[in-house]
Protein backbone atom coordinates (compact mmCIF):
# COMPACT_ATOMS: atom_id res chain seq x y z
CA UNK A 1 0.00 0.00 0.00
CA UNK A 2 2.88 2.35 0.82
CA UNK A 3 4.40 1.71 -2.59
CA UNK A 4 1.06 2.37 -4.22
CA UNK A 5 0.66 5.77 -2.57
CA UNK A 6 4.22 6.81 -3.40
CA UNK A 7 3.90 5.77 -7.02
CA UNK A 8 0.50 7.47 -7.28
CA UNK A 9 1.95 10.68 -5.84
CA UNK A 10 4.85 10.48 -8.28
CA UNK A 11 2.49 9.91 -11.18
CA UNK A 12 0.36 12.90 -10.18
CA UNK A 13 3.46 15.13 -9.92
CA UNK A 14 4.64 13.86 -13.30
CA UNK A 15 1.27 14.58 -14.92
CA UNK A 16 1.01 18.12 -13.54
CA UNK A 17 4.57 18.93 -14.55
CA UNK A 18 4.44 17.06 -17.85
CA UNK A 19 1.46 19.02 -19.17
CA UNK A 20 2.87 22.42 -18.21
CA UNK A 21 6.43 21.53 -19.21
CA UNK A 22 5.32 21.07 -22.82
CA UNK A 23 4.21 24.70 -23.01
CA UNK A 24 7.35 25.93 -21.27
CA UNK A 25 9.60 24.06 -23.70
CA UNK A 26 7.61 25.20 -26.73
CA UNK A 27 7.69 28.84 -25.63
CA UNK A 28 11.44 28.55 -24.88
CA UNK A 29 10.87 29.44 -21.25
CA UNK A 30 12.38 26.38 -19.58
CA UNK A 31 14.60 28.49 -17.34
CA UNK A 32 11.61 30.56 -16.22
CA UNK A 33 10.19 27.31 -14.88
CA UNK A 34 13.45 26.85 -13.00
CA UNK A 35 13.22 30.39 -11.65
CA UNK A 36 9.63 29.95 -10.47
CA UNK A 37 10.43 26.69 -8.73
CA UNK A 38 13.12 28.47 -6.70
CA UNK A 39 11.31 31.69 -6.01
CA UNK A 40 8.10 30.17 -4.61
CA UNK A 41 10.12 29.35 -1.48
CA UNK A 42 9.40 32.63 0.36
CA UNK A 43 5.71 32.23 -0.56
CA UNK A 44 5.69 28.74 0.91
CA UNK A 45 7.42 29.91 4.09
CA UNK A 46 5.19 32.96 4.59
CA UNK A 47 2.01 30.97 3.97
CA UNK A 48 3.31 28.30 6.32
CA UNK A 49 4.02 30.85 9.04
CA UNK A 50 0.55 32.33 8.69
CA UNK A 51 -1.50 29.18 8.36
CA UNK A 52 0.69 26.80 10.34
CA UNK A 53 0.17 23.74 8.17
CA UNK A 54 1.89 22.31 5.15
CA UNK A 55 -0.96 21.19 2.95
CA UNK A 56 -3.12 24.23 2.83
CA UNK A 57 -4.74 25.98 -0.04
CA UNK A 58 -3.42 29.22 1.47
CA UNK A 59 0.05 27.94 0.66
CA UNK A 60 -1.00 27.18 -2.88
CA UNK A 61 -2.36 30.68 -3.24
CA UNK A 62 0.61 32.41 -1.61
CA UNK A 63 3.10 30.60 -3.76
CA UNK A 64 1.15 31.17 -6.97
CA UNK A 65 1.19 34.86 -6.15
CA UNK A 66 4.96 34.74 -5.63
CA UNK A 67 5.32 32.94 -8.98
CA UNK A 68 3.38 35.69 -10.72
CA UNK A 69 5.49 38.36 -8.97
CA UNK A 70 8.62 36.56 -10.22
CA UNK A 71 7.42 36.55 -13.80
CA UNK A 72 6.34 40.19 -13.52
CA UNK A 73 9.72 41.28 -12.13
CA UNK A 74 11.62 39.33 -14.78
CA UNK A 75 9.63 41.06 -17.50
CA UNK A 76 10.03 44.45 -15.85
CA UNK A 77 13.82 44.16 -15.84
CA UNK A 78 13.85 42.78 -19.36
CA UNK A 79 11.90 45.77 -20.61
CA UNK A 80 14.29 48.13 -18.86
CA UNK A 81 17.17 46.68 -20.87
CA UNK A 82 18.62 43.85 -18.78
CA UNK A 83 19.27 40.65 -20.73
CA UNK A 84 16.58 38.04 -20.20
CA UNK A 85 19.03 35.46 -18.78
CA UNK A 86 20.43 37.89 -16.28
CA UNK A 87 17.06 39.21 -15.17
CA UNK A 88 15.89 35.64 -14.50
CA UNK A 89 19.04 35.02 -12.49
CA UNK A 90 18.80 38.19 -10.43
CA UNK A 91 15.14 37.73 -9.54
CA UNK A 92 15.05 34.10 -8.57
CA UNK A 93 18.27 34.08 -6.55
CA UNK A 94 17.10 37.13 -4.59
CA UNK A 95 13.72 35.58 -3.80
CA UNK A 96 15.28 32.24 -2.93
CA UNK A 97 17.71 34.00 -0.58
CA UNK A 98 14.76 35.72 1.10
CA UNK A 99 13.17 32.30 1.55
CA UNK A 100 16.30 30.77 3.06
CA UNK A 101 16.68 33.71 5.45
CA UNK A 102 13.03 33.39 6.50
CA UNK A 103 13.46 29.68 7.16
CA UNK A 104 16.63 30.25 9.20
CA UNK A 105 15.05 33.06 11.20
CA UNK A 106 12.10 30.89 12.16
CA UNK A 107 13.98 27.60 12.36
CA UNK A 108 12.93 27.11 15.97
CA UNK A 109 9.19 27.44 15.59
CA UNK A 110 8.83 26.18 12.07
CA UNK A 111 8.73 22.52 11.33
CA UNK A 112 9.85 23.11 7.76
CA UNK A 113 13.43 22.24 7.09
CA UNK A 114 15.36 23.12 3.98
CA UNK A 115 16.10 19.49 3.19
CA UNK A 116 12.40 18.82 2.83
CA UNK A 117 11.95 21.85 0.61
CA UNK A 118 14.85 20.81 -1.59
CA UNK A 119 14.53 17.05 -1.89
CA UNK A 120 10.97 16.46 -0.75
CA UNK A 121 9.80 13.63 1.42
CA UNK A 122 7.86 11.40 -0.89
CA UNK A 123 8.75 8.41 1.28
CA UNK A 124 6.66 9.85 4.13
CA UNK A 125 3.67 10.72 1.98
CA UNK A 126 1.50 7.94 3.39
CA UNK A 127 2.02 9.07 6.99
CA UNK A 128 0.24 12.33 6.53
CA UNK A 129 -3.29 11.24 5.79
CA UNK A 130 -6.49 13.17 5.57
CA UNK A 131 -9.48 11.80 7.40
CA UNK A 132 -13.00 13.13 7.22
CA UNK A 133 -15.55 12.02 9.79
CA UNK A 134 -13.41 9.11 10.85
CA UNK A 135 -12.96 7.75 7.35
CA UNK A 136 -9.40 7.53 6.04
CA UNK A 137 -9.28 9.23 2.68
CA UNK A 138 -5.64 8.67 1.80
CA UNK A 139 -2.61 10.95 1.92
CA UNK A 140 -3.15 14.71 1.90
CA UNK A 141 -0.48 15.17 -0.75
CA UNK A 142 -2.45 12.98 -3.17
CA UNK A 143 -5.56 15.09 -2.66
CA UNK A 144 -3.66 18.33 -3.11
CA UNK A 145 -1.93 17.07 -6.24
CA UNK A 146 -5.19 15.68 -7.59
CA UNK A 147 -6.85 19.05 -7.10
CA UNK A 148 -3.97 20.83 -8.86
CA UNK A 149 -4.04 18.37 -11.74
CA UNK A 150 -7.79 18.89 -12.08
CA UNK A 151 -7.36 22.67 -12.30
CA UNK A 152 -4.51 22.36 -14.79
CA UNK A 153 -6.40 19.90 -16.97
CA UNK A 154 -9.54 22.03 -16.80
CA UNK A 155 -7.85 25.30 -17.76
CA UNK A 156 -5.62 23.79 -20.46
CA UNK A 157 -8.56 21.75 -21.79
CA UNK A 158 -10.94 24.71 -21.94
CA UNK A 159 -8.46 27.03 -23.63
CA UNK A 160 -6.50 24.41 -25.55
CA UNK A 161 -6.74 26.22 -28.87
CA UNK A 162 -5.61 29.53 -27.38
CA UNK A 163 -2.70 27.97 -25.51
CA UNK A 164 -1.66 26.12 -28.66
CA UNK A 165 -1.62 29.26 -30.78
CA UNK A 166 0.19 31.26 -28.07
CA UNK A 167 2.82 28.51 -27.82
CA UNK A 168 3.61 28.41 -31.53
CA UNK A 169 2.91 31.89 -32.82
CA UNK A 170 2.23 34.56 -30.20
CA UNK A 171 2.18 37.29 -32.82
CA UNK A 172 -0.59 35.63 -34.82
CA UNK A 173 -2.46 34.97 -31.57
CA UNK A 174 -2.23 38.63 -30.65
CA UNK A 175 -3.38 39.64 -34.14
CA UNK A 176 -6.41 37.35 -33.78
CA UNK A 177 -7.35 39.14 -30.58
CA UNK A 178 -6.29 36.48 -28.07
CA UNK A 179 -5.05 38.12 -24.85
CA UNK A 180 -1.52 36.68 -25.08
CA UNK A 181 -0.25 38.37 -21.93
CA UNK A 182 -3.20 37.04 -19.91
CA UNK A 183 -2.57 33.47 -21.10
CA UNK A 184 1.12 33.92 -20.34
CA UNK A 185 0.34 34.85 -16.75
CA UNK A 186 -2.26 32.07 -16.42
CA UNK A 187 0.36 29.57 -17.56
CA UNK A 188 2.89 30.95 -15.11
CA UNK A 189 0.34 30.83 -12.29
CA UNK A 190 -0.33 27.17 -13.13
CA UNK A 191 3.40 26.43 -13.14
CA UNK A 192 3.76 27.94 -9.68
CA UNK A 193 0.76 25.96 -8.43
CA UNK A 194 2.24 22.74 -9.79
CA UNK A 195 5.60 23.57 -8.20
CA UNK A 196 4.09 24.23 -4.81
CA UNK A 197 1.92 21.16 -4.69
CA UNK A 198 4.85 19.00 -5.79
CA UNK A 199 7.54 20.60 -3.66
CA UNK A 200 6.81 18.49 -0.65
CA UNK A 201 6.94 15.28 -2.61
CA UNK A 202 9.93 15.80 -4.88
CA UNK A 203 11.47 19.03 -3.66
CA UNK A 204 11.60 22.48 -5.18
CA UNK A 205 14.68 21.88 -7.29
CA UNK A 206 13.83 18.51 -8.74
CA UNK A 207 10.43 19.77 -9.86
CA UNK A 208 12.42 21.50 -12.58
CA UNK A 209 13.65 18.15 -13.79
CA UNK A 210 10.12 16.81 -14.10
CA UNK A 211 8.94 20.03 -15.77
CA UNK A 212 11.62 20.18 -18.44
CA UNK A 213 13.10 16.73 -19.07
CA UNK A 214 9.97 14.71 -20.02
CA UNK A 215 8.62 17.57 -22.11
CA UNK A 216 11.95 17.92 -23.96
CA UNK A 217 12.06 14.18 -24.62
CA UNK A 218 8.48 14.36 -25.92
CA UNK A 219 9.49 17.28 -28.16
CA UNK A 220 12.02 14.99 -29.83
CA UNK A 221 9.49 12.22 -30.36
CA UNK A 222 6.59 13.91 -32.10
CA UNK A 223 5.55 16.93 -34.12
CA UNK A 224 1.98 17.18 -32.83
CA UNK A 225 1.02 19.06 -29.68
CA UNK A 226 -1.59 16.53 -28.55
CA UNK A 227 0.80 13.62 -28.96
CA UNK A 228 3.53 15.63 -27.27
CA UNK A 229 1.34 16.15 -24.20
CA UNK A 230 0.60 12.42 -23.99
CA UNK A 231 4.25 11.48 -24.50
CA UNK A 232 5.39 13.99 -21.91
CA UNK A 233 2.97 12.76 -19.25
CA UNK A 234 3.76 9.10 -19.94
CA UNK A 235 7.53 9.68 -19.88
CA UNK A 236 7.07 11.55 -16.62
CA UNK A 237 5.03 8.74 -15.06
CA UNK A 238 7.49 6.12 -16.34
CA UNK A 239 10.42 8.01 -14.87
CA UNK A 240 8.80 8.46 -11.45
CA UNK A 241 7.92 4.76 -11.24
CA UNK A 242 11.33 3.65 -12.53
CA UNK A 243 13.03 6.11 -10.23
CA UNK A 244 11.14 4.83 -7.21
CA UNK A 245 12.15 1.26 -8.06
CA UNK A 246 15.78 2.29 -8.46
CA UNK A 247 15.71 4.25 -5.22
CA UNK A 248 14.37 1.27 -3.29
CA UNK A 249 17.00 -0.99 -4.85
CA UNK A 250 19.88 1.44 -4.23
CA UNK A 251 18.64 2.89 -0.94
CA UNK A 252 19.13 6.39 -2.33
CA UNK A 253 17.17 9.62 -2.57
CA UNK A 254 13.84 8.93 -4.27
CA UNK A 255 13.53 12.36 -5.87
CA UNK A 256 17.09 12.20 -7.15
CA UNK A 257 16.52 8.78 -8.68
CA UNK A 258 13.31 9.98 -10.36
CA UNK A 259 15.14 12.80 -12.09
CA UNK A 260 17.99 10.48 -13.05
CA UNK A 261 15.46 8.08 -14.59
CA UNK A 262 13.92 10.99 -16.51
CA UNK A 263 17.39 11.96 -17.72
CA UNK A 264 18.01 8.38 -18.85
CA UNK A 265 14.73 8.33 -20.80
CA UNK A 266 15.70 11.68 -22.35
CA UNK A 267 19.05 10.26 -23.49
CA UNK A 268 17.19 7.30 -25.05
CA UNK A 269 14.87 9.69 -26.90
CA UNK A 270 17.84 11.84 -27.93
CA UNK A 271 19.60 8.82 -29.45
CA UNK A 272 16.78 6.66 -30.81
CA UNK A 273 13.93 9.01 -31.70
CA UNK A 274 12.63 7.84 -35.09
CA UNK A 275 12.62 11.32 -36.61
CA UNK A 276 14.82 13.67 -34.60
CA UNK A 277 17.15 11.18 -32.91
CA UNK A 278 20.92 11.19 -33.31
CA UNK A 279 20.99 7.74 -34.92
CA UNK A 280 18.05 8.38 -37.25
CA UNK A 281 19.76 11.56 -38.40
CA UNK A 282 23.05 9.76 -39.02
CA UNK A 283 21.29 7.00 -40.98
CA UNK A 284 19.40 9.57 -43.04
CA UNK A 285 22.58 11.48 -43.78
CA UNK A 286 24.56 8.40 -44.82
CA UNK A 287 21.68 7.25 -47.05
CA UNK A 288 21.56 10.68 -48.64
CA UNK A 289 25.29 10.69 -49.28
CA UNK A 290 25.09 7.19 -50.80
CA UNK A 291 22.31 8.30 -53.11
CA UNK A 292 24.33 11.34 -54.10
CA UNK A 293 27.35 9.14 -54.77
CA UNK A 294 25.30 6.91 -57.07
Partner 1 sequence: MIQHIVAVVADPNTQWILAGCMLLGLCSGVVGCFSYLRKQSLMGDTLAHAALPGICIAFMLTGTKSLLLFLIGAGISGVIATFGIGWITRYSRLKSDAAMGIVLSSFFGLGIVLLTQIQHSSYGNQSGLDKFLFGQAASMIGADVYTMMIVCALLLTVCTLLFKELKLFAFDAGFARGLGYPTALLDQLLMLFIVIAVVVGIQAVGVVLVAALLITPAVSARYWTDRLGVMVVLAGLFGALSGALGTLLSSMVQNLPTGPLSVLSATALFGISVLCGPRRGVLTQAIRTARLRRSERARLRELSAGTMRKEAAS
18 binds partner 1 (CB under 8 A): no
Least Å from the CB of residue 80 to partner 1: 7
Q: Which of 161, 281, 284, 285 touches partner 1 (CB under 8 A)?
A: 281
79 binds partner 1 (CB under 8 A): no
| 214-243 binders of partner 1 (CB under 8 A) | 216, 219-220
Smaller CB distance to partner 1: residue 105 or 181? 105
Only segment of 2-10, 64-72, 164-172, 202-210 that touches partner 1 (CB under 8 A) = 202-210
Only segment of 123-131, 138-146, 176-184, 255-263 that touches partner 1 (CB under 8 A) = 255-263
Smaller CB distance to partner 1: residue 190 or 206? 206
Supply the DSSP string of the chain, one letter for each residue: -HHHHHHHHHHHHHHHHHHHHHHHHHTT-HHHHHHHHHHTHHHHHHHHHHH--SS-HHHHHHHHHHHHHHHHHHHHHHHTT--HHHHHHHHHHHHHHHHHHHHHHTTTT----HHHHHH--GGGGGGSEEEETTEEEEEHHHHHHHHHHHHHHHHHHHTHHHHHHHHH-HHHHHHTT--HHHHHHHHHHHHHHHHHHHHHHH-TTHHHHHHHHHHHHHHHH-S-HHHHHHHHHHHHHHHHHHHHHHHHHHT--HHHHHHHHHHHHHHHHHHH-TTTSHHHHHHHHHHHHHHHH-
CA distance 59 to 117: 13
67 binds partner 1 (CB under 8 A): no
172 binds partner 1 (CB under 8 A): no
Least Å from the CB of residue 143 to partner 1: 26
93 binds partner 1 (CB under 8 A): yes
Q: Which of 7, 49, 69, 82 touches partner 1 (CB under 8 A)?
A: 82
The binding site for partner 1 (CB under 8 A) comprises 25, 28-31, 33-34, 38, 77, 80-83, 85-90, 93-94, 96-98, 100-101, 104-105, 107, 114-115, 118-119, 205-206, 208-209, 211-213, 216, 219-220, 250-253, 255-260, 262-263, 266, 270, 276, 278, 281
Amino acid sequence: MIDFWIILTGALVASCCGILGVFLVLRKMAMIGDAISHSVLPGIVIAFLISGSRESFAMLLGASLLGLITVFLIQLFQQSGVQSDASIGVVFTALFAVGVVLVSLNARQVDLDLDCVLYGEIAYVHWNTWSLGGIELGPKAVWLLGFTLLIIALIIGLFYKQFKLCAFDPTLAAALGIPVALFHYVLMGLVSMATVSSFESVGAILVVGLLIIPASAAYLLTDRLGAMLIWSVSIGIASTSLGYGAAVALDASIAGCMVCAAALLFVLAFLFSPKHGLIARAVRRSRLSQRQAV
